[in-house]
């Protein structure tokens, strides 16, 4: 199997990370978790999992993922959200991409919910990927390391770093789309409301493609009611 490094940025999300680490089959991949210095709630988990590479970086998903990539040893880099789980056989998708000419790839988006709204959102994502070849970061993006480095990694912008990255990768070569499902927690949709959160996503991406800067998008997102980061949770191992 091709060597793979899985990079997980996390910000005060210990419980979700713990669940992902426990329930995902890692298939001998290098696992790198990149947190921020103030996220001290991770200390018990760090002690319990010495097999993981633990790093610190300034807050910001792009910064944290770039820091993880700089320390990675894999030939392919896979960027995974802390509340997402890779499917069984996920390594096979990367091996298949390796055999072809793909420079990057993703998995099929699924939500961990029985709600009909979850199925509608999943359908919308499949249509977006099929029509525009535009997966987001919650589809566990993976990329050849040399291509990632040549492209300069993720742009260190406060929002839309995944969209910016995918658009740049598409100019470099083919994007592999695996039918295997990456399972993402539906907690944020359940918290914010299925329709409200989806509408906010559509609002922001439309403005982004109209030329609104990521900094301005972040201010608009906060003004429309985005929840602040949660306080550090208590955790027992």
- As a whole number, mean pLDDT of residues 158-183 equals 96
Of 72-86, 121-135, 150-164, 221-235, the least confident = 221-235
DSSP-derived letter for residue 139 is G
pLDDT higher than 50, residue 87: yes
pLDDT higher than 70, residue 118: yes
Proportion of the chain above pLDDT 90, given as a percent: 90
pLDDT in tens, 7-47: 999 999 999 999 999 999 998 999 999 999 999 999 999 99
Predicted confidence at residue 236, as pLDDT, reads: 37
Query: Which domains are assigned to the chain?
Result: 4-186 (3.90.550.10)
pTM for this predicted structure? 0.92
Predicted confidence at residue 231, as pLDDT, reads: 44
Predicted confidence at residue 224, as pLDDT, reads: 58
How many Cα atoms within 13 Å fall on the side-chain side of residue 194?
Answer: 12
Predicted confidence at residue 101, as pLDDT, reads: 86
What is the sign of the dihedral through the CA atoms of 72, 74, 75 and 80?
A: negative
pLDDT higher than 60, residue 112: yes
pLDDT higher than 90, residue 226: no
Q: Whose CA is closest to 71, among 51, 54, 46?
A: 54
Mean pLDDT of the chain: 92
Compute the distance between CA of residue 223 and CA of residue 18 in angstroms, rounded to an integer: 31
Compute the distance between CA of residue 37 and CA of residue 49 in angstroms, rounded to an integer: 18
Number of H helices, E strands in the chain: 10, 8
Model confidence band, residue 229 (pLDDT cutoffs 50, 70, 90)? very low
Q: Are strands 84-85 and 174-185 parallel, antiparallel or unpaired?
A: antiparallel
Write the CA distances from 21 to 52, 70, 139, 162, integer angstroms: 10, 21, 17, 22
Predicted confidence at residue 237, as pLDDT, reads: 33
| 237 contact partners, CB below 8 Å, separation of at least 6 | 18, 44, 45, 48
């Amino acid at each position: 199997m091709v060597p793979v490094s899985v990079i997980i940025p996390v910000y005060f999300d210990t419980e979700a990370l713990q669940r992902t680490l426990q329930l995902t089959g890692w298939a001998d991949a290098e696992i790198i978790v990149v947190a921020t210095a103030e996220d001290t709630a991770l200390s018990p988990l760090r002690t319990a999992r010495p097999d993981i590479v633990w790093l610190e970086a300034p807050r910001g998903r792009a910064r944290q993922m770039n820091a993880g990539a700089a320390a990675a040893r894999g030939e392919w880099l896979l960027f995974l959200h802390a509340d997402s789980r890779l499917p069984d056989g996920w390594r096979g998708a990367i091996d298949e991409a390796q055999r072809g000419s793909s420079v990057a790839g993703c998995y099929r988006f699924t939500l961990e919910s029985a709600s009909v709204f979850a199925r509608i959102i999943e359908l919308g994502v499949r249509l977006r990927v099929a029509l525009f070849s535009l997966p987001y970061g919650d589809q566990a993006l993976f990329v050849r390391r040399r291509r990632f480095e040549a492209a300069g990694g993720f742009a260190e912008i406060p929002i839309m770093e995944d969209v910016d990255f995918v658009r740049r990768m598409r100019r470099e070569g083919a994007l592999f789309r695996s039918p295997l499902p990456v399972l993402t927690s539906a907690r944020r949709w359940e918290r914010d409301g299925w329709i409200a959160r989806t509408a906010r996503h559509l609002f922001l991406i439309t403005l982004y493609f109209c030329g609104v800067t990521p900094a301005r998008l972040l201010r608009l997102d906060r003004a429309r009611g985005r929840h602040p980061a949660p306080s550090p949770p208590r955790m027992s191992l």
